[in-house]
A and B are shown apart, each in its own frame.
Chain A
């Protein structure tokens, strides 16, 4: 089962593809947080590695994040300069419908987003100087499929509590540059 092309064997290989600490001069440990939401906005997973600043409590923070993505997506669909028929602003969009976005930068962080055809959103927040995160997000999505979706004890739509998933995720995220 592959949504995003490439062979499963290559992407699920235990060793990460890119060597750490080459492009940005930052040797790994660039990830700040990771969120996984399902299509109805339930936060399946929140993980943080480096976050000195907490402005809100965890639940409010997750809600705000989902709201930001929801609104930004209707924003990009409406402002899309290449399509003629853009629909109305603020109408809920199906996964893959309209123009979406894959990342944004601020001076303190970079947010990258992957939305699967089933509406699962993977959001990775990294150092602003990290490179294109679309491939790493697909890799993380594949870890999710391998260790969470294929776990017989996991009930769909509930928070993820799979140890193997967490260890694999932590290991992979350390290598991001």
Chain B
């Protein structure tokens, strides 16, 4: 059973630039994943408007009946979010690791155009290793 169901990376204007599925039931169509990404982008922005106090940075954890969604927003507005099993631990850490991989293998790639879909072999490779490592540490506990 997968601890992580899927990973989304959304650029600062709400476009999906990376999506990977790690074993959710059913198949998500490409159009639906794009819609979900931009919907999340707007929900994230609206949640800041509804804050009772100043300095709100948007949703970082959404707890649903069958999954948890952890979101991390970088300083430049790129959002990373993972859908995982309810109660999965250390997701903030994993998101930081993914962000680090993104800066190392995507942003430093001279052929990558900013805000465009990510197609970097090294990023894919290192990402699957990081997710695999996370799973192994999960089984170890």
Interface residues of chain A, those whose CB is within 8 Å of chain B, are 32-33, 48, 50-53, 55-56, 61, 64-65, 67-68, 71-72, 74-76, 78-86, 89, 99-109, 111, 125
30 inter-chain pairs at a CB distance below 8 angstroms, sorted by A residue, are A51-B52, A56-B49, A64-B46, A67-B46, A68-B43, A68-B50, A75-B43, A78-B36, A79-B36, A80-B64, A80-B66, A81-B25, A81-B67, A82-B25, A82-B66, A83-B66, A99-B67, A100-B64, A101-B65, A103-B62, A103-B63, A104-B59, A104-B61, A104-B63, A106-B57, A106-B58, A107-B55, A108-B57, A109-B52, A125-B52
The residue of chain B having its C-beta at the shortest distance from the C-beta of A73 within the complex is: B64
Tell me the total A-B contact number using a CB cutoff of 8 A: 125
A50 to B42, CA, bound (A): 26
Contact partner of A71 among B42, B58, B83, CB < 8 A? B42
Tell me if B52 and A32 are in contact (CB < 8 A).
Answer: yes
Chain A CB within 8 A of B32 CB: yes
A75 to chain B: which residues have CB within 8 Å? 36, 39-40, 43
B55 and A108 contact, CB distance less than 8 A: yes
Q: Which one of B5, B25, B50 contacts A84 once the chains associate, using CB atoms below 8 Å?
A: B25
Q: Is the CB of A76 within 8 A of B64?
A: yes
Q: Are B53 and A108 in contact (CB under 8 A)?
A: yes
Whether the Cβ atoms of A102 and B64 lie closer than 8 Å is yes
Give the total of B residues in contact with A, Cβ under 8 Å.
Answer: 37
B78 CB–A CB distance under 8 Å? no
Interface of A is mostly: mixed
- Given A68-B43, A75-B43, A101-B62: A80 and B67 interface contact (C-beta under 8 Å): yes
Partner of B59, one of A55, A89, A102, A105: A105
Give every chain B residue within 8 A of A125 (Cβ-Cβ).
50, 52
Alpha-carbon separation in the docked complex, A99 to B51 (Å):
25
* Chain B hits for A100, CB < 8 A: 64-65
Check B26 for interface membership: any CB of A closer than 8 A: yes
Give bound CA distance, A108 to B55, whole Å: 7
Contact B32 A52 (CB under 8 A): no
